[in-house]
Structure 1
Amino acid sequence: MVLSKVKIGQTVVVKGIEGKDKMKKFLFSLGCYEGEEITLISVLAGNYVVNIKDSRYAIDAKMAKSIMIEA
């Protein structure tokens, strides 16, 4: 399952990241990597606001679809 399918307020565990190395490195720099918990806060204008390690970030739909999760 991918992050873009998660309900608002749901906390999930990252299973992996698919996509190009540039995107993987960017998400890793935010603290988004395998085994890390991520919470979907809201979806605004196609951007996903997520909570990772007590910080909030806005990522686009393409990135949200590249984050594989286990619910």
Structure 2
Amino acid sequence: MSLMFTKPGEVNHIKRVMGDDRTRKYLMDMGFVEGAPITVLSRVSGNLIVEIMGTRVAIDRSMANRIIVGRGSL
């Protein structure tokens, strides 16, 4: 499921990062890599604040829709 559909406070793991090469590289450089645990902390005007690899990151809806997550690890 897309990161946009997760509930705040739920710990999920990244299964896949979609998009063109530039978009995937941008997200991976910020720590959005397959297998990484990710938690949505809050939603603000359709954007998300997430915790990934011990860091809080804000991403917009279009980026969040490119991140596929699941409850279990890889």
Q: What TM-score, normalized to structure 2? A: 0.91
Question: Matches of 1:47 and 1:41 in 2, distance apart?
Answer: 11
Code of the aligned partner of 1:23? T
Identity fraction in percent: 37
Letter of the 2:33 partner, please give it. Answer: Y
- SS where residue 15 of structure 2 aligns? strand
State yes or no: 1:59 paired with 2:59.
yes
Deviations 1:20-64 (A, max 9, x none): 111111110111110100010001012110001110000000111
Question: In angstroms, what is the RMSD of aligned CA positions?
Answer: 0.7
- Name the CA distance, whole Å, in 2 between partners of 1:46 and 1:23: 19
**Counterpart amino acid of residue 12 in structure 2:** V
How many residue pairs get aligned? The number is: 71
Structure 2: gaps (5+ residues) = none
Quote the Cα distance in structure 1 between the aligned partners of 2:26 and 2:32: 9
Structure 1: segments with no counterpart, 5+ residues:
none
1:68 — aligned with what?
Answer: 68
